[in-house]
Structure 1
């Protein structure tokens, strides 16, 4: 299969490698730390960041298997469902989104966008959704919608971790630490498995009670690379109340960062990572003289 995706009949322009830009901020320079942003958020407006990196090899696998339909899972505000629907439109796949909870009309912007890109939505109650990986539940869904390539929630699996790791090789400058927001552990798994000796990765959990993500990172690494690495850590102190929750200090940080650097941070993922990173640098947890890469997705 042509992994450059030139077969796409509608055309899609991916900004790869994604840009790496330096951020000059006196709050960091006073601690002797240099910050680079890996702008994966600029890869494509409809399939940005780690969404594209997670989908890349899964789409190739679906294509190689001859599966013309993708079935995947998400909440009512899932960015993954948006991206999967867009990718389906661009690359010729039918898409089915299994949404947690009851249908609510009118559709919110995320689900309306997914539908506008051809995704068929179906809804399951929260109890069933928690069992979404059970063979009984999957068999029922496949029986209803026909042969499907099943993508996990968030698009996270071993193939996705392989894709997430590819961004590391695009960074030409030497660095010591690379950071990402962490929702499933997949991005952190791929990035950390792709580092050179002496480099390390930090994942900032956006989930309350996110310590379990450590096991997920190790699982994704085994699935993708057949081994585990120890060059990463998980920081669970900056969830701001839990997934898709925020506090005034986070909003203030987002506004200030935008004013200083012209970059509007996504408050669900990116801002929590960046707030945590600035806090850790101020606490001396990242040594002076370090170069840090923060991945925006």
Structure 2
């Protein structure tokens, strides 16, 4: 009851649509490419941010903590969605921000301030401790009765929210493809498809193939874990790390031009941090005949579009540098 009421109060639009894409890619194997439009769930709490936060927010609405604490950079889609929800739930938010943006506020940070969040600037050394138990215990002592949500919202509670993506589907797919950064969305998709013929492919958007595998594995039961030595490798899911363009939030003029052309051709907004790398990688794989003939593939649009507000000048200048 609380879940449906909160969903209605926040204006969450579910289920998101499944839409077939008519692409001008070379496609000798006749692969069907579909997209699940999770970017349309909500103008602010879009995509996998709502999916990963939903179960935690349902609990918080039922039994509000004194404060919610979470982490992110100056363009964090996770913090942006969480800040909006905390304001609606009347729960204070402490946002621990990597770097000091006090003299150079981003659109996302301005929104957080407007929604009443407390912003705490920390350096890279301190931010690197965001998963350290000693550091987290100090936060709990300094902020009693608070709820700490990991960076990106990826935690075990997120998996059932992500699984709803699969239960909403109106048709069967051979493969679901999604961008991978903090691991929670990928793990939720893997668990939701484990008893079906559907496989899951993650496109890594940051460096560190083994690191990304570890992020996903931490949420999975032993039988679903991917063993990097190949001795017990599952065939149900794979992670491709060929399309990160140098690291998280790194981009090239070619990638930015691809995103702009994709938007123009399909009338679907994407950005070069997550969805752009997803569709870039998917195009390379389709054009190289990587998938079996006749495969039916669903690409998950994970939202993350609020960060585009900081990109216009960068996209115009074809800047190669990271925004975060």
Which among 21, 24, 28 is matched to residue 22 of structure 2? 24
| Superimposed CA distance per residue, residues 102-151 of structure 1 (whole angstroms, 9 cap, x where no aligned partner) | 34314111111111112111122211211122333223323333321100
SS of equivalent residue, structure 1 residue 211: helix
Which among 55, 58, 67 is matched to residue 57 of structure 1? 55
| Superimposed CA distance per residue, residues 198-250 of structure 1 (whole angstroms, 9 cap, x where no aligned partner) | 2101000000223311122121123xxx8526311000000011111101221
Indicate the residue corresponding to 1:256 in structure 2: 261
* CA distance 1:7–1:262, change in 2 (3 Å): closer
Matched, 1:157 2:155: yes
Question: What is the CA-CA distance between 1:7 and the residue it aligns to?
Answer: 8.7
CA distance in 2, matches of 1:79, 1:215: 22
Q: Indicate conservation of the 8 Å contact 2:64/2:91, yes or no.
A: no
Indicate the residue corresponding to 1:218 in structure 2: 217
CA distance in 1, matches of 2:70, 2:123: 15
Indicate the residue corresponding to 1:3 in structure 2: 3
Indicate the residue corresponding to 1:178 in structure 2: 176
CA distance in 1, matches of 2:118, 2:32: 45
Question: What is the CA-CA distance between 1:12 and the residue it aligns to?
Answer: 2.0
CA distance in 1, matches of 2:115, 2:70: 15
Aligned length: 292
CA distance in 2, matches of 1:84, 1:219: 23
Indicate the residue corresponding to 1:98 in structure 2: 96
Indicate the residue corresponding to 1:148 in structure 2: 146
Q: Indicate conservation of the 8 Å contact 2:35/2:301, yes or no.
A: yes
SS of equivalent residue, structure 2 residue 247: coil
Extract unaligned runs of 5+ from structure 1: none
Indicate the residue corresponding to 1:274 in structure 2: 279
What value does the CA root-mean-square deviation take over the aligned residues?
A: 1.9
CA distance in 2, matches of 1:127, 1:256: 39
